[in-house]
Amino acid sequence: MTPEQLEEARSLIINGATYAEISERMSVSVDAVQGYFSADGLHRDLRRWRNDKIFEMLQEGKTAREISEVVGLTLAGTRNITSKMRRYAKQK
pLDDT (tens digit per residue) in 46-71: 788 888 889 899 899 999 999 888 88
39 contacts 9 by C-beta, under 8 angstroms: no
Q: Is 73 left (phi over 0), alpha (psi -120 to 50) or beta?
A: beta
pTM attached to this predicted model: 0.61
Q: What are the residue ranges spanned by the domains of the chain?
A: 3-40, 46-91
Tell me the Cα Rg of the chain: 15
Average pLDDT of the chain is 84
